[in-house]
Structure formats: C-alpha cells, structure tokens
A = this chain, B = another copy of it.
Amino acid sequence: MTKDNGEFLKAYLQDRRKIVEDALQRYLPPANNSPQEIYQAVHYSVFAGGKRIRPILCLAAVEAVGGDLAPAMPIACALELIHTYSLIHDDLPAMDNDDFRRGKPTNHKVFGEGIAILAGDALLTEAFVLLSHTEKVRMPVEKRVAVIREIAQAAGIAGMVGGQALDVLSAKSSSSVEILSEIHRRKTGALIMASVKTGAIISNAREEKIKALAEYGMNVGMAFQIADDILNVEGDRNLLGKETGSDAALGKITYPFLMGMDYAKDKLHKHIEAAIESLSIFDERVLPLRLIAHYVMERKT
C-alpha cells in the first residue's frame, strides 16, 4: 500500500468506525434498562473497541455500487451485533476459554457465564429485531426479507455456527487442509461475504456485481481468519490485547500449525489477490474495498 493510500484508508476506517459506533449507540436498547446486568453485558462487548470490519465492508460495498448509505446502517449494525455475539460465545470456558479480548476481560469474566451466554443470545436476537424494524429505515420489503435471509443463513448452522462447531471439534480429531478451509469458510467467510452482499443487494446492484462482491467477501473473510491465526503465533500480545499462542495450547488446527508459516502466508496472499481480482469490474468507487483487502493482509491487530 502506498503512503497516500495508507493515510486515506486510516482516515476512512476511522470515519466509518465513528459512524458505525454512533449508529450502534442509537439502535441498541440503553444500558440502564432492567435487568441492568444483561443490558450492561451487551453494551460491554459491543463497545469494547472492535475494528467494525463487517459493518465497514457492508457500507463500502454500498459505496462501490453507488448506493445510499442510510438504509445500510441498520444492516451494518446488525452484522456487528451478530459478530459480537459470536465472540462472547466463542470465548466461553466450554469453547475457547479466553480470559482477554481486545485488552479487556472477556464478557463471562466480568458478568459470569450465565449472563454472558444470555448476552450473546440477546445480541443474536436483537440483530433480527433491528433488521425487521421497518420504522428504522425505509426499504422495499422484498429487499428486507432478502437481507434477513442472507444474514440468517450466513450466521446459522450452514455458516458461522457450523464453522465454530467444526473448529471446537477439530481440536480433538485428526484434520486436513480441506476441513480447515471449510472451518474458515463457514466460521469467518460466510458472515463477511454476507456483509458485502447485503450492501450490494439493498443498493439494487446488478447480479454480476453482487456475485463479484460475494467472491471478494469470501476471500477477504478467509484471509482475515488466516491472518488471525498467523497473529496468534507471531503477533504482538500488547497490540492484539489478547494472549498469543492460545491456538497451539488448545490444539486448534490452523494453517501455521498444519502447513507451516510460509504456506499460511502464501495462502493469505492468494486470497487477497483473488479478492482484489474480483473487484476488476467496478469503477473507482471501489477503492476502499481494494484498500481494505490490503489492510487485512498487512494488519498487526
């Protein structure tokens, strides 16, 4: 990435993160509702300082096809709520048993396991409350149902939940590159793909462009997961805000573990190349998506 592009992207991501966080504040029920513990647990994890990559990708996809950002805001936020729920549940003792996330104690460490499980359940459900609330934003109902379907499928058993199940189970069994690739596709790829696809769908993008963005999203998603696994080995604990080496300790399969670090980095590279290649049919408004693909490859946190 050139210095100019790097600075543009930094400002772009900062700006978008702010827009997304303001919208999350507006859409989420306030933290002082009753019972406070559950609302606080929800707010704690939603505002724990995530990168907001899924909502930002959704908005960038809207931009790439010349759509209107306003109707995309509840969708972008719903994607972040679903992502946050998945982090809370993944961190539980019965799953990855992580004590820290983004430099802060994980949800169950602060609120206890029972409330953490419920906070995750709440976030998943509130995503669909948000997506189905017609007064939040005007959108043709057909599009609304298509978006709900796309996101529910990506988050569901054929997507994210099934991927996490495979991941949990893989630690206990013999594995292969094929299974690992399926874990990444379902666990991370599916929801990131849905993020860009839904942005395109509500912007009335042509089928060809929706397909290209879907391909971009799947590749960026899989690259994102490989980058995560690489950072878990050689990342900076202080920058990451969580322990490194936990995958190896849990016996999780990752590309670095299964195929070595060179293979992992090459695989990451290839996914990013494929992602950028699929953007070739778009005009200059696709720049943020292109730069985000580079960023996923080069990120340190």
Contact = CB atoms under 8 A, between A and B. Distances in A.
Copies in the complex: 2
B145 A129 contact: no
B94 A113 contact: yes
A162 interface: yes
A162 B38 contact: yes
A153 interface: yes
A188 to B, nearest CB: 16
Contact of A169 (B33, B35, B116, B165): B35
Interface residues of A, number: 53
B169 A126 contact: no
Contact of A118 (B38, B132, B168): B168
B157 A128 contact: no
Interface in A58-102: 85, 89, 92-95
Given A89-B121, A92-B113, 20 more contacts: A29-B157, A29-B158, A33-B162, A37-B165, A37-B169, A89-B118, A92-B114, A94-B117, A114-B168, A118-B161, A121-B161, A122-B156, A122-B157, A122-B161, A124-B125, A128-B156, A129-B149, A129-B152, A132-B149, A133-B149
